[in-house]
Amino acid sequence: MAGIVEVKNLSKTFYNKDSEVNALKDINLSIEKGDIYGIIGMSGAGKSTLVRCLNFLERPTSGEVYIDGEALSGLSDKKLKEIRGSIAMIFQNFNLLNQVNIIDNVAFPLRIQKMNKAQARQKARELLKTVGLSEKEKNYPSQLSGGQKQRVAIARALANDPKILLCDEATSALDPRTTAQILELLKKINDEMGITIIVITHQMSVVQDICHKVAIIEDGRLAESGIVSDIFANPKSHAGKMLVIGEKDMEIPLLHEDRRIRIVFETNSSYEPVIANMVLHFKTPVNILRANTRNVEGTAMGDMILGLPEDKRMQEDMIAYLEEKKLVVSEVTEDV
Partner 1 sequence: MFESFTAEVVSMIGKGIFETLYMTVISTFFGYIIGLPWGVALYVSSQKGLKPNAAIYGILSFIANVMRSIPFLILLILVMPFTLFIVGRTYGSTATIVPLTLSAAPLIARMVESSVSEVDAGVIEAAQSMGAGTWTLITSVLLVEGRVSLISGIVIMLGTVLGYSAMAGVVGGGGLGDIAIRYGYYRYQADIMIVTVVLLVALVMILQALGSKIAVAFDKRK
> Closest approach of Cβ 93 to partner 1, in Å?
5
> Closest approach of Cβ 292 to partner 1, in Å?
35
The DSSP bridge partners found for residue 31 are 5
Question: By CB under 8 A, is residue 144 in contact with partner 1?
Answer: no
Stretch that binds partner 1, among 101-109, 262-270, 316-324, 325-333 (CB under 8 A): 101-109
**Residue from 97, 254, 280, 291 in contact with partner 1 (CB under 8 A):** 97
Q: Which residues, 6+ apart, have CB-to-CB distance to 202 below 8 Å?
A: 40, 41, 42, 43, 47, 169, 172
Q: Which of 197, 201, 332 is nearest to 264 (CA)?
A: 332
* 199 versus 274: smaller Cβ distance to partner 1: 199
Question: By CB under 8 A, is residue 138 in contact with partner 1?
Answer: no
Instruction: Tell me 139's DSSP state.
Output: S
The helix/strand count (H/E) of the chain reads as 12, 14
The contact pattern for partner 1, residues 147-166, with x = CB under 8 A and - = no contact, is -------------x-----x
The DSSP bridge partners found for residue 302 are 265, 293
Question: By CB under 8 A, is residue 300 in contact with partner 1?
Answer: no
Q: What's the rounded Cα separation, in Å, for the pair 141 and 91?
A: 14
Question: By CB under 8 A, is residue 60 in contact with partner 1?
Answer: no
Q: Are 88 and 164 in contact (CB under 8 A)?
A: yes
Question: By CB under 8 A, is residue 320 in contact with partner 1?
Answer: no
Question: By CB under 8 A, is residue 119 in contact with partner 1?
Answer: no
* 107 versus 223: smaller Cβ distance to partner 1: 107
Q: Which of 187, 182, 184 is nearest to 169 (CA)?
A: 182
Question: By CB under 8 A, is residue 208 in contact with partner 1?
Answer: no
Q: What's the rounded Cα separation, in Å, for the pair 141 and 106?
A: 11
**Residue from 9, 62, 73, 113 in contact with partner 1 (CB under 8 A):** 113
Residues in contact with partner 1 by CB under 8 A are: 55, 57, 77, 81-85, 87-89, 91, 93, 95-101, 108-109, 111-113, 140-142, 160, 166
